[in-house]
Amino acid sequence: MDKITAVTDFSAPELDVYARLSERELLRYDEPLRGRFIAESPKVIERALDAGYEPLSLLLEPRHIEGEAREIVARCDVPVYTAPLEVLTQLVGFRLTRGVLCAMRRKPEPTPERVCAQARRVAVLEDVMNPTNVGAIFRSAAALGMDAVLLTRGCADPLYRRAVRVSMGNVFLVPWTHVDADWSERLHAMGFRTAAMALSDASVRVDDPSVAAEPRLAVVLGTEGDGLAAATITRCDYTVRIPMQRGVDSLNVAAASAVAFWELGKQASRADAQNTQRLDI
């Protein structure tokens, strides 16, 4: 296959996206056009391709050409660079679990109104700065029925390599976009009520029936350590807490998101089931 090239020159500019550019440099790589990102492992790459992201090149172990990455190589009409696993590990700076990387072009981000047009349950992340937490939240959002995720500008980018990897590619399954400081007003204009996840004397339990019954609800989660800003809590319609035991005051934001998504998504899931039953009658 003439599009496959064995890596012999580590300084080749074609490998910059994998070996020498930071996440921020990738984000700005094609300015003023859209930037790039790296997807790792066949499953994650397949999900990105299915979501419409454009592949630019592949970097993988030779054994994967006819192995785990066979369908991806056939599907992507792009340059394919190969090297042994130990070389790839040295090149990209960490040990790869699957030995397959794909450089991809970012897509334009939609407006919050477009992302939320058909949504009933939305997650809002305020300044969640750890890519691992962002990836874990997306995985929970996909698994537990969130329709969309909105991120403030202070959040780690969902397309950072670690966020994508931790999410298992679920960042490509849940619609998302970044929002500005007016996100609360825009959600209210779309008919959403907002629920701040925070410890407060005025808070209600996460399984409170009145919160779960809201037809359109945005669950708002804050940064690691400090949680949500006081001003954010004030402008939300509800303050919601997860009951704790043994003197524990809170959960990691990724763990808290899973509990909240499960509890607050139940009502929407029941409504879907009831509608399905009506259609079957």
Residue 270: per-residue pLDDT: 58
Cβ neighbours for 178, distance < 8 A, ≥ 6 positions apart: 109, 150, 151, 152, 153, 155
- Which pLDDT belongs to residue 98? 64
What is the Cα–Cα distance from 133 to 223, expressed in whole angstroms? Answer: 10
Question: How many alpha carbons lie under 13 Å from residue 71 in its C-beta half-sphere?
Answer: 9
pLDDT digits (tens, 9 = 90+) for 57-72: 999 888 888 888 899 9
Distance CA 5, CA 79 (A): 8
Taking the C-alpha atoms of residue 103 and residue 29, their distance in angstroms, rounded to an integer, is: 12
Predicted TM-score of the model (pTM): 0.88
- Residue 203 and residue 238: Cα distance in Å, rounded? 7
The encoded tokens of residue 267 equal 């009502």
- What is the spatial order of strands in the sheet that 36-40 belongs to? 4-6, 80-82, 54-60, 100-105, 36-40
Residue with tokens 């300044």: 127
User: Are 91 and 60 contacting, i.e. CB atoms less than 8 angstroms apart?
Assistant: no
**Tokens (6 digits) for 233:** 């809590």
DSSP codes of every residue in 21-68: --HHHHHTTTTTS--EEEEESHHHHHHHHHTTPEEEEEEE-GGGTTTT
Q: What is the pLDDT of residue 23?
A: 87
* 3-state SS assignment for residue 163: helix
Instruction: State how far the Cα of 121 lies from the Cα of 192, in Å rounded to an integer.
Output: 9
Per DSSP, 97 falls in state S
Tokens of 188: 């209210």
Q: Which of 83, 148, 152 is nearest to 118 (CA)?
A: 148
pLDDT at 94: 57
pLDDT tens readout for residues 185-201: 999 999 999 999 998 77
Residue linked to tokens 């009502």: 267
Q: Classify strands 80-82 and 54-60 as parallel, antiparallel or unpaired.
A: parallel
Residues in the chain predicted with pLDDT less than 70, given as ranges, are 1-2, 91-98, 267-281
At residue 164's C-alpha, the angle toward residues 217 and 198, to 5°, is 35
Vertex 90: Cα angle to 75 and 29 (nearest 5): 60
Domains of the chain: 4-105 (3.30.1330.30), 112-280 (3.40.1280.10)
Determine contact, residues 241/205, Cβ cutoff 8 Å.
Answer: yes
Q: How far apart are CA 91 and CA 69, in angstroms?
A: 19
